[in-house]
């Protein structure tokens, strides 16, 4: 968890989760965020989904599955979240943490539009994307190289690209299509990354 927090500072993300009730973590991996939320935001009922069945198996047997959020244990689901049954109709918060840049743009746009349509009504519901910044200079290309190594080693699954981050105005335009504004917050992490926060 300490290593994960250096790459993805969850404490900086939590303040942007302004919605209530359920939270959906798309590309949840091993369930690290569920583990963190169990103490930081225990009132949120956690749902995590990932296409990598190995990671879901580890999440189900790991520390996150022993915690409770929203009064119950986190629910981890295998497969493409758009085809998973048993999800609530709406979520107060939906997050993508370090997964979208591993997808081609058409897949990213489909998932983002799906997620925006699944947010609960009201001004507080939030779609939160934590993503690598578009690669520039040595730090940016170092981050891309690290992702390439993780994919080659089989630690991370890619859907065809390693550096699929687009300029942030393109993400903001997807939000505007659905009536959402987009705030971009640089995180100042070792590998340059930012939060994109979508709210009505």
Question: What confidence category does residue 170 fall into, taking pLDDT thresholds of 50, 70 and 90?
Answer: very high
How far is Cα 35 from Cα 173, in angstroms, rounded to an integer? Answer: 32
Tell me how many domains the chain contains. 1
- Domain residue limits at 169: 2-199
At 72 the pLDDT is 73
Question: What confidence category does residue 164 fall into, taking pLDDT thresholds of 50, 70 and 90?
Answer: confident
Mean pLDDT of 83-100: 93
pLDDT for residue 43 is more than 90: yes
- Concatenating the DSSP letter of every residue in 165-178 gives ---HHHHHHHHHHT
Question: What confidence category does residue 55 fall into, taking pLDDT thresholds of 50, 70 and 90?
Answer: confident
How far is Cα 193 from Cα 9, in angstroms, rounded to an integer? Answer: 10
Mean pLDDT of the chain: 84
Among 84, 71, 77, which residue's Cα sits nearest to residue 45? 71
Question: What confidence category does residue 124 fall into, taking pLDDT thresholds of 50, 70 and 90?
Answer: very high
pLDDT for residue 27 is more than 60: yes
Looking at residue 72, which CATH number applies to its domain?
3.40.50.150
Phi, psi of 32, deg, nearest 5: -55, -40
Report the share of the chain in percent with pLDDT over 90: 52
**HSE (CB half, 13 Å, CA atoms) of 46?**
29
Cβ atoms within 10 Å, residue 173: 13
At 71 the pLDDT is 62
Mean pLDDT of 38-48: 93
Q: Are 34 and 46 in contact (CB under 8 A)?
A: yes
- For the ranges 7-11, 48-52, 99-103, the lowest mean pLDDT is seen at 7-11
Helical spans, DSSP H, in 118-157: 137-152
How far is Cα 137 from Cα 141, in angstroms, rounded to an integer? Answer: 6
Question: What confidence category does residue 23 fall into, taking pLDDT thresholds of 50, 70 and 90?
Answer: very high
């Amino acid at each position: 968890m300490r290593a994960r927090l250096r790459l993805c500072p969850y404490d900086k993300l939590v303040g942007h989760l302004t919605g209530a009730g359920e939270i959906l973590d798309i590309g949840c991996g091993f369930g690290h965020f569920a583990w963190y939320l169990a103490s930081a935001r225990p009132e949120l009922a956690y749902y995590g989904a990932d296409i990598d069945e190995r990671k879901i198996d580890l999440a189900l047997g790991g520390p996150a599955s022993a915690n409770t959020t929203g009064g119950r244990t986190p629910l981890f689901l295998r497969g493409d979240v758009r085809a998973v049954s048993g999800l609530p109709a709406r979520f107060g918060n939906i997050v993508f943490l370090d997964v979208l840049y591993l997808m081609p743009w058409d897949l990213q746009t489909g998932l983002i539009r799906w997620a925006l349509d699944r947010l609960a009504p009201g001004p507080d519901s939030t779609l939160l994307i934590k993503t690598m910044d578009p690669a520039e200079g040595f730090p940016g290309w170092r981050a891309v190289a690290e992702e390439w190594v993780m994919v080659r080693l089989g630690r991370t699954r890619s859907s065809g690209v390693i550096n699929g981050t687009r300029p942030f105005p393109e993400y903001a335009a997807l939000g505007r299509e659905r009536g959402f504004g987009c705030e971009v917050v640089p995180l100042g992490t070792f590998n340059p990354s930012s939060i994109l926060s979508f709210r009505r």
